Amino acid sequence: MFIIQDYTIAVIFCVITMFCWGSWANTQKLAGKEWRFELFYWDYVLGVLLASILFAFTIGSAGNEGRGFIEDLAQASSSSLISAIIGGVIFNLANILLVAAIALAGMAVAFPVGIGLALVIGVVVNYIAQPQGDPLLLFIGVGLVALAIILDAMVYKRLPGQGGSRGTLGLGLAILCGILMGFFYRFVAAAMAPNFEAMEPGLLSPYTAMVFFALGIFLSNFILNTIIMLKPFQGEPISPIKYFRGRGIDHFWGIAGGMIWSIGMMFSIIAFGIAGAAISYGLGQGATMVAALWGVFVWKEFKEAPKGTNKLIVMMFISFIVGLALIVRAGL
Alpha carbon distance 302, 310 (integer Å):
9
Higher pLDDT, 326 or 164: 326
Give percent above pLDDT 90 in the chain: 66
> What's the mean per-residue pLDDT of the chain?
91
- Long-range pairs for 134-137: beta carbons < 8 A, 24 or more residues apart: 134/329, 134/330, 134/331, 135/330, 136/330, 137/326, 137/327, 137/329, 137/330
**All residues at 6 or more sequence positions from 183 whose CB lies less than 8 Å from its CB, including other chains:** 90, 121, 122, 125
Say what the pTM is.
0.91
pLDDT of residue 112: 78
pLDDT at 162 over 70: no
pLDDT of residue 167: 59
pLDDT of residue 300: 82
Confidence grade of residue 188 (pLDDT, cut at 50, 70, 90)? very high
> Tell me: the pLDDT tens digits for 64-78?
888 999 999 999 999
pLDDT at 198 over 60: yes
> Tell me: the pLDDT tens digits for 241-294?
999 999 999 999 999 999 999 999 999 999 988 998 999 999 998 888 888 888
pLDDT at 168 over 80: no
Confidence grade of residue 92 (pLDDT, cut at 50, 70, 90)? very high
pLDDT of residue 42: 96
Confidence grade of residue 100 (pLDDT, cut at 50, 70, 90)? confident
Q: Could you tell me the residue ranges of all domains in the chain?
A: 7-330
Q: Annotate 260-278 with b (16+ C-beta within 10 A) or e (fewer).
A: bbbbbbbbbbbbbbbbbbb
Question: Is residue 276 within 8 Å of residue 130, measured between CB atoms?
Answer: yes
pLDDT of residue 297: 84
